[in-house]
Structure 1
C-alpha cells in the first residue's frame, strides 16, 4: 500500500469523551507509523494543550494547531514553521465593546502567546480558571498580533457578535462559533483552515492528495475532510460532516472508532 498521510483531529475524534487517548488508539497509530505511514495532529487547539498528546503518541513530525494557522515541530526548530496572524487592533476593538457585545471572556493566543480577560467565570475547558497577573489581556500586554482570538459571550448575544464581526472585520478574519455547549466564537486569519495545514504537510512529506486520509467530527474539519483524498467522519460527527465525508466510522470516539477504522483501512494486524 502506498504511504498515507493520516491527518487526525483531536477532540471528538482521536480523544475519547474524557479527552484521553485510549490504549488501542495509541497502539494502532503506532502500528500505522511502523508500517511506514505518517500520522499528523491537525487540531483547533492551541499548541499549549496539544503537545502532551503529540508526546504521548511519540510523534516527531510537524503538528498543525489553531485550525491551520500554526504549523511547527514541538520542542525543536523547523525551517518550515509558519504562523498566520491578524491585526491586534481587532482585539482592542472587542475589548472596548465588551459590554454592548455581551462578551464574558476574550483570549488572545499564538504559539508563544496567551493573554485573557474575563468579566465572569466561564467554564470553557481550554482556559485556566485563574489567570496569572502576566496573563491579563489589555492594550499594554498584547504587543504582538494574535493567531487566534477566542470570545465567550452570553448565548443571547452570539448572533449579534457574529454580525458585528462580519460587518467590521470580514475582510481580514473568519469567525466561527464552536460546536458544543458553550457560546464561543473563534477568530482566525481569513481563509486559513485545517486544509491549509494539511497542504503544508503534504508538500513536506511529498504525499499526493489521494494518499491523504483525514478524520474529523466538527465544522472546523470540513475543509480538511474535503481536501483529503479520503475524508472520514466519526460516527459522532455532525450531519454536514458525515454528508461531506467519503466514509463514516462504524464506532464513535468513545469506542475507538478511529483506531478500528484505520486497522481495517490500512490492513493492520488485529
Structure 2
C-alpha cells in the first residue's frame, strides 16, 4: 500500500468524550506509523493544549494548530515552521466595543501568546479559570499580531457579533461559531483552514492528495475532509460533515471509531 498521510482531528475524533486517548486508538496509530504511514494532528486547539496529546501518541511529525494557522515541530526549532497572524487592531476594536457586542471574554493567542480578558466567569473548557497578572489582555499587553481570537458572547448577541465582524473585518479574518453548547466565535486569518495545514504536510512529505486520509467531526473539519483524497466523518459527526465525507466510521469517538476504521482501511494486523 502507498504511504498515507493520516490527518487526525482531536476533539470528537481521536479523543473520546472525556478528552482522552483510548488505549486502542493509541495502539492503532502506533501500528500505522510502524507500517510506514504518517500520522499528523490537525486541530483547532492551540498548541498549549495539544502538545501533551502529541507526546502521548509519540509522534514526530509536524503538528497543525489553530485550524491550519500554525504548523510546527513540537519541542524543536524547525526551519519550515509557519504561522499566520492578523492585525492586532481587530482585538483592540473588539475590546473597545465589547459591552455593546455582548462579549463576555476575549482570548488572543499564538504559538507563544496567550492573553485574555473577561467580564464574568465563562466556562469554556480550553481556558484557565484564573488568569495570571501577565495574562490580561489589553492595549498595552498585546504587542504582537494574534493567530487566533476566541470570543465568548451572549447567545442572543452571536448573530450581531458575526455581522459586525463581517461588516468591519471581512477582508482580514474569517469568523466561525463553535459547535456545541458554548456560544463562542473563533477568528482566524481569512482563507486559512485545516486544509491549509494538510496541504503543507502533503508537500513536506511529497504525498499526493489521493494518499491523504482525514478524520473529522465538526464544521472546522470541512475544508480538510474536502481536500483529502479520502475524507472520513466520525459516526458522531455533524450531518454536513457526513454528507461531505467519502465514508463514515461505523463507531463513534467513544468506541474507538477512528482506530477501528483505520485498522480496517490500512489492513493492519489485529
TM-score range, shorter chain: over 0.9
What does residue 150 of structure 1 align with? Answer: 150
The CA distance in 2 between the partners of 1:80 and 1:221, in whole Å, is: 24
TM-aligned CA deviation for residue 61 of structure 1: 1.2
What does residue 196 of structure 1 align with? Answer: 196
TM-aligned CA deviation for residue 87 of structure 1: 0.2
TM-aligned CA deviation for residue 144 of structure 1: 0.1
Determine whether 1:64 maps to 2:64: yes
Unaligned 5+ runs, structure 2: none
What does residue 131 of structure 2 align with? Answer: 131
Three-state SS of the structure 1 residue aligned to 2:254 is helix
Please give the residue correspondences for 1:168-187 in structure 2 after superposition, counting only pairs within 5 Å.
168-187=168-187
Moved over 2 A (4+): none
Three-state SS of the structure 1 residue aligned to 2:150 is strand
Query: For residues 24-60 of structure 1, what are the alpha-carbon distances to aligned partners after superposition, in whole Å with 9 as ceiling and x for unaligned?
Result: 0000000000000000000000000000000000001
Please give the residue correspondences for 1:1-270 in structure 2 after superposition, counting only pairs within 5 Å.
1-270=1-270
The CA distance in 1 between the partners of 2:77 and 2:231, in whole Å, is: 30
TM-aligned CA deviation for residue 79 of structure 1: 1.1
TM-aligned CA deviation for residue 232 of structure 1: 0.1
Query: For residues 170-215 of structure 1, what are the alpha-carbon distances to aligned partners after superposition, in whole Å with 9 as ceiling and x for unaligned?
Result: 0110000000000000000000000000000001101000000000
Query: For residues 90-115 of structure 1, what are the alpha-carbon distances to aligned partners after superposition, in whole Å with 9 as ceiling and x for unaligned?
Result: 00000000100000000000000000
CA-based RMSD: 0.3
TM-aligned CA deviation for residue 266 of structure 1: 0.2
The CA distance in 2 between the partners of 1:170 and 1:180, in whole Å, is: 24
Give the alignment's TM-score, normalised by structure 1: 1.00
Unaligned 5+ runs, structure 1: none
The CA distance in 2 between the partners of 1:79 and 1:202, in whole Å, is: 17
Give the alignment's TM-score, normalised by structure 2: 1.00
The CA distance in 1 between the partners of 2:83 and 2:98, in whole Å, is: 27
